[in-house]
Structure 1
């Protein structure tokens, strides 16, 4: 069997040769285990290092994803033995002392902490591998398998196993990436949606200190209302009709259930896309400090400055909230009618209370005025959901980082709308604007990528995204570039006085203080009600 062979700390791997979008060759090594399979008593626990193997391991195929139900088509796929990663590199070091200094970019996939993988169906490397970088894409545990949390600290299931998987993957990168010509001292983590929130949590976690040096957060951060989980042990016990409330007894049963049976039980806990409830599966604040990923509220960590100070790019699409329509597919679009569901849970308002109803009415009047929500004014629905689920906290996080960090923060808004807008294409949405996850089509080749015509808006946009992202990975600054004619503006970082941003449209433009009126509205609503709560 032919193919490139590399020797890493665990053994030998045989990969394959692939071709980028500009016909340059790169090497692919897929399905590499970075941790021991989390099976049996290791289910829900923090990951353990991968065990070595003998012989040459086939690394020409992707590993399994964490068990999940594929959005929209609802098919079940994946399993528990999912802790693998993929490495793509322009070349392997030929000599023992040859330079291994290529910037490393580690992609963390999205999917709301309940779906997704690092596979090429969505995250093909052909665009990014036009640059002289090493790309890593990873899988991590999802849903109940990655985010079950128990109250009893002695049971060693405090939560965040999926985030600890990502830390283990980064430790693998630190130890092994030089074998692929990568520089372990120049690692950029980047992700979209839950992958962006996970990247932000890594910035906030002492467990990840020293494992990465830059971060790109696309449409997500640790402050977003969907990026938190809760304890669902009692609900799972009730669904499984377990005649006990003892966490140890419940855990013993959960550890032995067949993977599909546990998954199907866990998905019976409602996980709606609404602002007034905490989701069942996601990051939590751990009760026990020893071995913890997170022990403090993310907002407090940000305000204190006690986090990993690294340069950051963060941003959003101009109609993130189209995702609310995507989640309704394949049924026809249904506008919001109960605005109490748009009242953020962190305000602590009782549903049905006078104050909750007042805030709901204020939200309705701000976004809809005197109009009745219908399918004819979808854009108002999009803007409300954009702000409530994504933009408000992203802009807050950017400002807080600037207040407390020694490293720069670059902010962007994406407005380009072409055939590469992935989510709109998959969900068959024809409205103007850029949906959540549309940015993925400009960084990665995927299952719906069209033919890219030379000189087209699509080709230019791919070159821009790739240049900005890889410039940042190479130089700590997206503006630093070599022989690059596609970036024709200077992207200034956010300052304490100016929320500077880059708008990535068919042209690149710069501005300050984006979405100002909408953010003033939310600032007033939150300030009044948080004071009332105190």
Structure 2
């Protein structure tokens, strides 16, 4: 290894600074593990030069200066170097967008890799005042330099009390590369996280979806907020954590919010023999990494992480996160010319368009963008594959463009019964919300005017009291619905039902990972659960079976399903595991696997299926896998270097970032993970060990029952 100190060195993307007559530049040292120190490239006076670093240098980066002039000259040089290095980092962490200039900050990953984060960047106009219930509008601009070291506000939601703001459409970007990369060959893959939260809560906050694991793998990470609940017709969040060496993390808020500060320090050690030791420590970061988040902060070595309120990362990637509106503020289903439907999804689309237009300025490659999400975020990922306004088809061996080129859904699907509502039910729920707010008019014009004047706090408080037509299988009131006309919503996002689009084959086909946790149904059990299971089991049948409660057909189906899970036993805490299996299948698993079958009908891009069944301190319940992808505020104990938990973290981050980089998914893990085919349906089981199994042999008795019940629906 040789320390750079050539007088003719020009550092790409860096402007030489001058102090008196001494010009000094430097660049990040990112291509020579295991060092995590920056590489200094100093244009020295002719009297001074840098000597080769000794081969044994590993714990420190201490290249000796050969003293040819007076010691006073050396001390002056060192002092100037320190001042200038600090100034370079302060000045070079700016990015010029079409909207204006932003000033970012520096962080480091769990392993100490440096990254750069740019937080709280508006990706659309605040949806306030006359813009409430409207589709997102073009992002605002600003004068001067905008501070991008902290996240923007979360979208309005209830966390004990109402918190957040309607002004919440922010995106966050995390990258392992200093801004200003111009060489297209140096651009990193981008991962954009869409957070979950039932479309009524969540954000890209790094305290939930930190990039500390994923940005060690050279990606860019992005997160964002989007509108939730009734104020967005549905709030969809992208909370994802990714991180990796050479990765950029980008995150944004989609009418939600996220914290996002980065602390960096410079420690300089001077030795008697003329040695200079310069180290940069970044919280939430990695060497050569840019971290950008919209309500989510993550970090990884040399990684850019892009997420939508979700943080993930990978070697050589960028992570992006953002906020979007959810709940009634994001998914109000009122039929009115001034109400845009599916605003939470449209927020997400606006965030993805922002990424395509801007991510190259953070070192990310817009043509290598992976979107991923969990739960309602996973369903959002699939909605993007169904929407004609975002679709792009995959052509093997060819380069293609679009809002995204790869996709990952974790524990969620548009075919889950909670993920979609018909337009009639959406209208009923909008009227019910209005009555809960104390207004009894039936005219849609009057209802619209009333809701425009209602406080976001009251709307958010009351939306959770809106009841749905079914119980267990359809628990979310404000979710996506069909748009027959644009109204004031601009481009239609969902022109037909998910099932109609899937049957037609007119959906985006890109490389895709989908999967589930082995115990999705583990949850708090309400006191009256056993009475409902034993005496009113029809209420547990998924509504999308299109069965009318009380009919012979519905009663027969209920009896068949109940016998499959409970036999002749009375449901109780004694056989609670059977109840967990019932919820796992009806709420998550069947929708995920039905989507796999639909994609196989029109297969032109690879599909990978996994099951997460590892149980460490976390179990394998819904969302437990996220603890192995993201650093969170709930992490209290350091993991032992040889623990199976640390191994699981490494495996998940490697699999996801390999996928984002278009690599063999099993690279580095000594296990092939092949795509699903009609003739060879396999899945990867992620447990203490990785293993491959036959998908057709997964819970065969349970799946046979649901296959028979859904056969008329899906064909």
TM-score between the two structures when normalised by the length of structure 1 = 0.90
Q: Offset at 1:95?
A: 5.2
The equivalent of 1:282 in structure 2 is: 479
Asked if the contact 1:20–1:126 (Cα under 8 Å) also holds between the matched residues in 2, the reply is: yes
* Residue in 1 that maps onto 2:8: none
* In 2, Cα distance between equivalents of 1:387 and 1:269: 25
The CA deviation string for residues 202-254 of structure 1, in whole angstroms up to 9 with x for no partner, is 01111113100000000011111111132322212322332421212211111
Contact 2:181 2:362 in 1 (8 A): no
Provide, for residues 274-332 of structure 1, a one-character-per-residue CA deviation record: whole Å limited to 9, x for no partner: 3454742111111216611001111221222211111000000001011xx2374xx79
Partner of 2:460: 263
Q: How does 1:134-283 map to 2 (within 5 A)?
A: 134-147=220-233, 148-150=331-333, 152=335, 154-155=337-338, 157-209=339-391, 210-229=402-421, 230-231=426-427, 232-270=429-467, 274-275=471-472, 277=474, 279-283=476-480
CA distance in 2 between counterparts of 1:218 and 1:152 reads: 32
Secondary structure in 2 aligned to 1:283? coil
Task: Specify the SS of the correspondent of 2:576.
Answer: helix
User: Matches of 1:300 and 1:160 in 2, distance apart?
Assistant: 18
Q: Which moved more, 1:84-93 or 1:388-397?
A: 84-93
SS at match of 2:640: coil
Q: Is the 8 A contact 2:180 2:361 kept in 1?
A: no
**Which of 67, 78, 89 does residue 164 from structure 2 map onto?**
78
CA positional deviation for 1:476: 5.8
| In 1: Cα distance, 2:149 partner to 2:409 partner | 29
Of residues 300-309 and 136-145 in structure 1, the stretch that sits farther from structure 2 once superposed is: 300-309
Report if aligned partners of 1:488, 1:508 keep a CA contact under 8 Å in 2: no
Q: Does 1:410 align with 2:608?
A: yes
Determine helix, strand or coil for the equivalent of 1:525: helix
Shift of residue 96, structure 1, vs aligned partner = 4.4
> SS in structure 2 opposite 1:140?
strand
The answer to whether 1:305 aligns with 2:491 is no
CA contact (8 A) 1:153 1:287 kept: no
* 1:516 to 2:700 alignment: yes
When residues 97 and 492 of structure 1 are mapped into structure 2, their CA distance, relative to the original with a 3 A threshold, is closer
Report the 3-state secondary structure (helix = DSSP H, G, I; strand = E; otherwise coil) of the residue aligned with 2:506: coil
Partner Cα separation in structure 2 for residue 152 and residue 435 of structure 1 = 37
- Whether 1:361 and 2:559 are equivalent positions in the alignment is yes
2:648 corresponds to which residue? 461
Q: Work out whether residues 659 and 665 of structure 2, in 8 Å CA contact, stay in contact via their aligned partners in 1.
A: yes
Q: More helix per residue: 1 or 2? A: 1
- Paired residue secondary structure (1:139): strand
Moved more, 234-243 or 113-122: 234-243
Question: Which residue is 1:291 aligned to?
Answer: 491
Matching residue of 2:83? none
1:295-444 equivalent positions in 2, closer than 5 A: 295-322=495-522, 325-326=523-524, 328=526, 336-337=533-534, 338-419=536-617, 421=618, 434-444=620-630
The structural deviation recorded for 1:81 is 0.8
1:498 deviates by 2.8
- C-alpha separation between the residues in 2 aligned to 1:32 and 1:524? 49
| Partner Cα distance (2:108, 2:470) in 1 | 39
SS of 1:123's equivalent in the other structure is: coil
Q: SS of the counterpart of 1:444?
A: coil
| Match among 634, 650, 667 for residue 448 of structure 1 | 634
| Structure 1: gaps spanning 5 or more residues | 425-433
Is the 1:146–1:161 contact (alpha carbons within 8 Å) kept by the matching residues of 2? Answer: yes
d(CA) in 2 for partners of 1:262, 1:504: 41
Distance 1:62 1:332, change over 3 A: farther
Deviation at 1:25, TM superposition (A): 0.9
Larger-gyration structure (1/2)? 2
Q: Distance in 1 between matches of 2:553 and 2:416?
A: 23
Structure with the bigger percentage of strand: 2
* Distance in 2 separating the partners of 1:114 and 1:273: 18
1:474-513 alignment, distance < 5 Å? 474-475=661-662, 477-479=664-666, 481=667, 484=668, 487-512=669-694, 513=696
Q: Does 1:471 align with 2:658?
A: yes
Hey, what's the Cα distance between the residues in 2 that align with 1:99 and 1:63?
32
Number of residue pairs matched? 506
Distance in 1, Cα, partners of 2:359 & 2:584: 37
Q: Are the aligned partners of 1:109 and 1:195 in contact in 2 as well (CA < 8 Å)?
A: yes
| Structure 1: distance between partners of 2:638 and 2:109 | 14
- For residue 456 of structure 1, report the CA deviation from its aligned partner: 0.8
Instruction: Please say if residues 609 and 675 of structure 2, whose CA atoms lie closer than 8 Å, have aligned partners that are also in contact.
Output: yes
Residue-by-residue CA offset, 1:127-175 (whole Å, 9 max, x unaligned):
11101000001111000011144464522x2411000000000000001
Between the aligned partners of 1:15 and 1:414, the Cα distance in structure 2 is 36
TM-score (normalised: structure 2) = 0.68
